[in-house]
């Protein structure tokens, strides 16, 4: 039996400054851009901050498992927000810890 061992992970961090934007009057998700999807497809982990998602917003990125944390909406504008996008193939040995603070997402790598 041959065991495959991963000895490195590729990780990127992006202050996305609103994951949803208005284009020609329509609300669009920046993650839906095909060039962006191509650029991040080789990554193992993508961390996004300042997503400004509403509590009922769902974001998706093909090939990634996404975990979000955001503040409760207390005004018409959404603030803050964090998302961790884990490549589907590596998501099982990574555990997202229970959320205790709207500004933090903790991961444990096993």
Say yes or no to pLDDT of 14 above 80: yes
pLDDT 10s digits, 17-53: 999 888 888 888 999 999 999 999 999 999 999 998 8
Surface-to-core class of residue 56, CB atoms within 10 Å of its CB (0-12 exposed, 13-18 middle, 19+ buried):
exposed
Q: What is the average per-residue pLDDT within 59-68? A: 93
Q: Which helix (H) or strand (E) holds 34?
A: helix 34-40
pLDDT at position 78, please?
A: 63
Surface-to-core class of residue 103, CB atoms within 10 Å of its CB (0-12 exposed, 13-18 middle, 19+ buried):
exposed
Q: How far apart are CA 96 and CA 30, in angstroms?
A: 24
Please tell me the pTM assigned to this model: 0.81
């Amino acid at each position: 039996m041959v065991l495959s061992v991963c000895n490195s992970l590729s990780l990127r961090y992006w202050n996305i400054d609103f994951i949803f934007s208005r284009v020609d009057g329509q609300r669009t998700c920046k993650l839906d851009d095909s060039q962006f999807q191509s650029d991040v497809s080789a990554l193992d982990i993508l961390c996004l901050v300042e997503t400004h998602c509403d509590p009922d917003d769902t974001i998706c990125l093909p090939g990634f498992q996404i975990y979000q944390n955001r503040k409760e909406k207390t005004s018409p504008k959404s603030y803050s927000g964090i998302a961790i996008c884990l490549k589907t193939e590596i998501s099982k040995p990574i555990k997202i810890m229970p959320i205790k603070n709207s500004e933090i997402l903790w991961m444990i790598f096993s």
